[in-house]
Every structure is written in structure tokens, then in C-alpha cells.
Structure 1
Amino acid sequence: MSLPTLLRRGAVLLTVAVAATTTGAATAAPAPAKDVAQAAVNALVGQHRAMGSSAFKLGAGEHWSVHAGKVSGQENRPITEQDHFRVGSLTKMFVSTVVLQLVAEGKVGLDTGFGAYLPGLATGTTHDDTKITVRNLLQHTSGIGEYLNTIVALPTNWWRTWNVLDHAKSGLSQNSLFPPGSKYSYSNTNYILLGLLIERVTGRTVNQEIAERILLPHGLANTGLQTAGQQLMPAPYVTGYVAVPLVPVRVDSRSQDPTLAWAAGAMYSTAVDVAKFLDLLLKGELLPPAQLAEMKKPFPGGFYGLGLAKIDLPCGVSAYGHNGAMAGYTTFGFATESGKQSVVLSSVTPMSNGGLKLNDDTMAATLCA
């Protein structure tokens, strides 16, 4: 069984992108997982212009990693499981976890219109904030358009400090794509709204809520959502690069202002911390059973739950997680309920469909081993 295509948006940042897996000839013996992963990261560096790429298998009693390339153009060493990198839309899993904790506490209604928490924000738009529920925002079934399309093409915007409220207004100013709850359409604006909702309900910043509800109690010391003006991750970190089409040039993109993506995709982490978060989440240590079940349940006929994607691996096992891209970084983080976690990182964007498939194949091989 092949992995579903979640979304492909080329050079657009913060998007989910899982390419379809194809199987080899029926008579061919499958290669060992580590060999498949090594070949894939080699190809990502050699054929798809990544400065470096690494894949990590963690959990379920077995740990290994493979590497190709190097951590940056200035530092000649492989990417390790302790290096910080921008995780892009994996951020959505953390934000969704906080929202669902608030649901469990009775502070947020999953099927309540978001206008109850952000009154007036949709006034004068084609969006009905009494009918677009918190569930719709979490599940990308709101019909609200994408705010990023108008700003990501210009590299100077990566360093600009943004008013995140303007991101929400930009998305809401677009016409509704469909009646809420009727379809799925991935939009980062949904998670900007959820970030604003968290702050309105708690009276605290999203950064604080993620840190005090998830990171600090569970020892995820190498993960965080930075505040405006904090444009460099903690050391050691992977330097991301944007490959310029048709010419042998890479643009260093390590420094970016977190307000560009904010609650939709501005977090940083390490392979170890991503794996630990997924393990905690799927073991039920971050959410009560009812909210975890809601998070894992895909939209009917689809694959996306409430900030968490479900994929069916070629070996017949299901995995849960997310993936995403920031300028210079493509990351996959998925785990099985049996306790296996896979984190795949490549330090380059945009990623071609061929490159995405290599990430996909690497993750599938790792989790099926």
C-alpha cells in the first residue's frame, strides 16, 4: 500500500508534503532499511542539492542513523540527532496538543465557532465565525485561504518582523473556499487563528503555553518557539539553504524571524526531541484518551486528523505525525503506535517531487524495519 499524497506546494513554506511510494519488482528482495535510508540521503545530497541530510530511527529498542553531506558550508561534519533545525509544520502538532488540552479542561469547545474566542475578527469577510469551528481550524476544513502565498516569494520577508494578527486578517480577507466542514484544504491561516485563540483563552503567549504544558514537564529542552527578533536557533544547529533554480547557488537561510510562520510552523527542535514528543503523544501522556482519539481520527475519506496525519505504510502498519518545510529545511517526523519513531531532515528547499519521494521512502523503510 502506498503512502497518500498529503500536499505538494513546491517552494511554499510550512506545507505538508508526502510523496507517493512505489514498490519495486515483485521478485526483488527488499533492501535492508538502513541501506535504503543511506541511499536516499546520499541522493538528496548528490541529486537534489541538499547541503546535508540525515535519517534517524529511534525507539522500540533499536536506534540508528544515516548521514550524507554536512551540517553547513562552514562546518564539515554530519547532521546529528543533537543538532537543532527548523521543523516547519511539525509545529502544528504542538499547537494542536495545547488546544486539545484546553478542550479537555473545558476552556475551549471543539465544535464551537471560533468567533466565540476571537470575536469580530471575521467581520466583513465571507467567513461565518459561528459555523467555522475549532475542529475545522485544526483539521483544515474551514475553507479559509492561505495567507503565506502573498509573502513567501520575497526572501527579505524571512527576516521581517510581522504582526501575526495581520496574517489572520490576510487569510480571512479571501473568499471562502467551501462551506466549513465539507472539504479539506491545507491552510496555514488556520493555525495562526489557533495561536491567537490560545493566547486569548489563556492570557499567555503561545510560546509560554507550549513550553509549560509540553516542553518543560517532559524534558524537551532542545525544542522551542522563539519570539519576535530571535532569528537564530540555539547552537549547534543545521544551516538551511534555498537552492536557486537552474544555477549552482544556495542561499543561506539559517536566520529567520519566527513571526513569519509563528504558530503555523516556526518551532525548532532536534531529532531526539521530535521522536520523544511523538512517543509521549501516542502513549497518551500529553492528552486524555478522548482528545487523543479525536486528534488521530482522519477527516472522512482522508488522512488528516486534528493537527496529526495518519499514513499507511507499505508494510501494513499505520504511522502518525507531520512534516513540513521552512526556507532551507525539509523535515519528516512520524511514529508508529508500537514505539518506533523516524525523523528525516534535509537542509534544502525547494524540494522536488523526486526529493520528497526520497524522504518518503526513507521514512517508510525506517518505520517498517
Structure 2
Amino acid sequence: MKNRLRISAAALAACTALAVVPGAAHAAPASDAVQKSLDALVRADGFPAALASVRGRDGRVRDYTAGVADLRTGAKVPVDGYVRIGSNTKTFTAVVVLQLAGEGKVRLDEPIETYLPALVRGRGGDGRRITVRQLLQHTTGLPNYTAFLAQGALPYQHTYFQPRELLDMALKEKSHFSPGTKWEYSNTNYVILGLLVEKVTRRPLNEEITDRVVKRIGLRHTYFPNVGDQGIRAPHPKGYHRDDPGKPLTDVTEWDPSFGWAAGQMNATPSDLNRFFTALLGGKLLEPEQLAQMRTTVDASSGLWPGARYGLGLVSTPLSCGGLAWGHGGDIMGYSTTDAATDDGRAATIAVTQLPGDATALGHLMSALDTALCSD
């Protein structure tokens, strides 16, 4: 299962209907392979709900649902409803950092110490030896702060964390390896990048992401929650979580996502995530030089899934039908999203309303994504 946000309980101890959204979508036949894969996620893996949006090479959009939006009432899953998108937030943050690099305001191979003097010091790492590129690519060796949120997730459901508080948690533990020598997923890297954006622009991170990404490409159903906002815009399916596998699921739709911040705080709909990754690959957010840097990858299969390679906030995954898909994915309590787009215009996002309980469930999600991208 490993690390897409991945803030599962283990990580905390160690993110079929006609669409009624902008852009015409078409009802999918019941026999569709994507619908079958969503039905299996609910039936075999126990996810309360699954919803997906798939964009074909021709731009045609199909939306799918399975399960129920509310375990108590049995309400229908809203087509293309809002969900928490967890670590997909990292790609948004990375885009802003790379835009600043293109503007000459940030240099990727400069130590973070240059921009945030004395911020990264302690057993966890030394900012004089860690570059901006290494932060973007998870090759810093910095400990993951989510490992220090003890007692599982539920005790922190309504707790607000400031970014510096998250960083301080991580720096108490010894660095895992020398910068640049290995790859290891750490949400701490992106908290530092969020602080970098704020230092360089002198504006809040959520404002920079909104202005530079969300508004720029017209994402009408994507947003960075404000401080104290624990809800999700409607319509949305409810999210569920349990720290103890032996206990019932808890409704965690209301959740303070501040512990994700630049690494995992945003909300969106599946179709908007597809629009984002399609626009990104299409060069609408970054200049060619910065997009090429973003797509320069290192092996991440040991920490994510077989064949995964990590760029600068972007993950490549080989498809069964040939070629690569580019996305990220993300988990946060109550929601898990699996998503990617291809260079020829295909895109797919699958969201479920409970974190994958094991590697088997994660494998089924990845298989469903492959089916969605390869059935076109």
C-alpha cells in the first residue's frame, strides 16, 4: 500500500449515471468494463462508494458510480461529486514551484537554505545540503511527519496544524539517508515547498495555487480549503475511516485537512482532476523546459507500485496497452483517488470513500485505472 499521501492508520503509527457537470458527458452502458471494475471495488474490496470520470482520446467524457454515498441512508453516489484529493495536491504545489523556476525566482538545484535560512536544521536534515529539486522528487531523506501522529487518525479529526508544526515533528528524527542518494516518499518535503512558495511570492499558498493553476485553466470544481474549513462542497459522498480493523467505520466527512497542507489539503471532482492533468501534460501550465524537468523521473516502485517512477511532483505508470500514464494519486482520511492522463488526451480518475485496507485493494484500484485508460 505504501505512500500516495499515504496517510493510512499504519502510516500514522509508522489521502453509472449521466454527468451533470460542465462539459457534456454520456451515460455508460452497464456492461462497460469500467463500470464492472467499480462494482468490484465495492463488492470485493468493501469500499462504501466508488466514482470515476474517464476522458477518451476524442474528448468524450463518461462518468460512473457504484455503492452508496451514505451508509446510514443508502443515498445514491453523486455523479462526479467532490472528494478530498490528498496527495494530488503535491502536483499543484509542484506546478507553482516550477512556474517560479521558469520566472527565475527559484533555482531547482539551489539549496533550500538559500530561500528559507535556518528552517531545515536538526536531526532530520540540513537545508544547506537539500535542494529544491530533491524536495520535489522525494530524494531528501527527510522523515515523514505523518509517522509521528500517534494513536491513529481519529484523535486528530478536528485538530488544526500549522505548517511549521508539521515540519518540527519530522526534524526530531534522524535523517533516513544523505540527500540525493535514494528515493523515499515524505510529506515533509512538500510542506517545505509550500513555505518556499509563500516566502518567494509573499502570498499564501492557497492563493498562489488558485491564481496560478485553478483559475488559469478554468477548474470550476477544484479548491484549496481555507483555514478552519472542515467540510466538502456539495454534492459529495461521505468518507469513512477506522483506525482499528475490528471496529465499525466512522464518518469522517467533516475533517480538518490542515495536516496535509501543501502535501494533501485540496478538494476536487474526478472530472476536474482529469482536466488538470490533461492541461498539465498539454503544456498549458508550464513552459516546455519546466515540463521536461517535471517528467524526469527516478524509480519509485519500492514505495508506490510496480513500475512507478517519480518526477517532480508527477508519477509515471506503465499501461497494459502500452505507453505511460502520468498522474499522482492521493489518500486522506475517508477518501482515496487514483488518477492519470496520457499524452494522447486520455485521462481517468477513480475515487473511493475509504482508504485501501491492504496492497490487494490498492492493486485493484490501479487495475481499474488501467482498464479505464486502456478500454478507449
Give the structure-1-normalised TM-score. Answer: 0.88
Query: Residue 160 of structure 1 contacts residue 257 of structure 1 at CA under 8 Å; is this kept in 2?
Result: yes
Q: What secondary structure does 1:88 align onto?
A: coil
Instruction: State whether structure 2 residue 30 is matched by structure 1 residue 38.
Output: no
Query: Residue 52 of structure 1 contacts residue 70 of structure 1 at CA under 8 Å; is this kept in 2?
Result: yes
Superimposed CA distance per residue, residues 78-107 of structure 1 (whole angstroms, 9 cap, x where no aligned partner): 2412x1100010111100000000000011
Superimposed CA distance per residue, residues 179-224 of structure 1 (whole angstroms, 9 cap, x where no aligned partner): 1111100000000000011111111111000001111122112111
Query: Residue 164 of structure 1 contacts residue 262 of structure 1 at CA under 8 Å; is this kept in 2?
Result: yes
In structure 2, what is the Cα distance between the partners aligned to 1:78 and 1:128?
A: 47
Query: Residue 330 of structure 1 contacts residue 347 of structure 1 at CA under 8 Å; is this kept in 2?
Result: yes
In structure 2, what is the Cα distance between the partners aligned to 1:290 and 1:224?
A: 27
Structure 2 residue aligned with 1:185: 184
Out of 49, 55, 72, the residue aligned to residue 46 of structure 2 is 49
Q: What secondary structure does 1:355 align onto?
A: helix
Structure 2 residue ranges without an equivalent (≥5): 16-28, 302-308
Structure 2 residue aligned with 1:368: 374
Call closer, same or farther: CA 1:180–1:144 in 2, change over 3 Å.
same
Out of 299, 324, 331, the residue aligned to residue 318 of structure 1 is 324
Amino acid at match of 2:37: A
Q: What secondary structure does 2:223 align onto?
A: coil
Question: How far apart are 1:128 and its partner, in Å?
Answer: 2.4
Query: Residue 328 of structure 1 contacts residue 350 of structure 1 at CA under 8 Å; is this kept in 2?
Result: no
Equivalent residues in 2 for 1:317-336, closer than 5 Å = 317-336=323-342
Query: Residue 217 of structure 2 contacts residue 284 of structure 2 at CA under 8 Å; is this kept in 1?
Result: no
Q: What secondary structure does 2:310 align onto?
A: coil
Amino acid at match of 1:185: E
Query: Residue 227 of structure 1 contacts residue 258 of structure 1 at CA under 8 Å; is this kept in 2?
Result: no
- For structure 1, which segment, 296-305 or 179-188, has the greater mean C-alpha deviation from structure 2 after superposition? 296-305
Structure 1 residue aligned with 2:163: 164
In structure 2, what is the Cα distance between the partners aligned to 1:260 and 1:123?
A: 21
Give the structure-2-normalised TM-score. Answer: 0.87
Q: What secondary structure does 2:9 align onto?
A: coil
Query: Residue 109 of structure 2 contacts residue 132 of structure 2 at CA under 8 Å; is this kept in 1?
Result: yes
Call closer, same or farther: CA 1:301–1:330 in 2, change over 3 Å.
closer
Structure 2 residue aligned with 1:112: 110
Cα RMSD of the aligned pairs, angstroms, is 2.4
Equivalent residues in 2 for 1:37-186, closer than 5 Å = 37-61=34-58, 62-73=60-71, 74=73, 76-81=75-80, 83-125=81-123, 127-151=125-149, 153-186=152-185
Structure 2 residue aligned with 1:199: 198
Aligned residues: 349
Query: Residue 84 of structure 1 contacts residue 268 of structure 1 at CA under 8 Å; is this kept in 2?
Result: yes
Question: How far apart are 1:332 and its partner, in Å?
Answer: 0.8
Structure 2 residue aligned with 1:229: 228
Question: How far apart are 1:9 and its partner, in Å?
Answer: 7.1
Call closer, same or farther: CA 1:349–1:6 in 2, change over 3 Å.
closer
Structure 1 residue ranges without an equivalent (≥5): 18-31
In structure 1, what is the Cα distance between the partners aligned to 2:300 and 2:79?
A: 38
Query: Residue 297 of structure 1 contacts residue 306 of structure 1 at CA under 8 Å; is this kept in 2?
Result: yes
In structure 2, what is the Cα distance between the partners aligned to 1:149 and 1:6?
A: 11
Percent of paired sites with the same residue: 36
Query: Residue 334 of structure 1 contacts residue 342 of structure 1 at CA under 8 Å; is this kept in 2?
Result: yes
Instruction: State whether structure 2 residue 296 is matched by structure 1 residue 297.
Output: yes
In structure 2, what is the Cα distance between the partners aligned to 1:43 and 1:34?
A: 13
Query: Residue 320 of structure 1 contacts residue 336 of structure 1 at CA under 8 Å; is this kept in 2?
Result: yes
In structure 2, what is the Cα distance between the partners aligned to 1:49 and 1:301?
A: 28
Call closer, same or farther: CA 1:5–1:232 in 2, change over 3 Å.
closer
Structure 1 residue aligned with 2:248: 249
Superimposed CA distance per residue, residues 224-244 of structure 1 (whole angstroms, 9 cap, x where no aligned partner): 111221100111122111146
Q: What secondary structure does 1:50 align onto?
A: coil
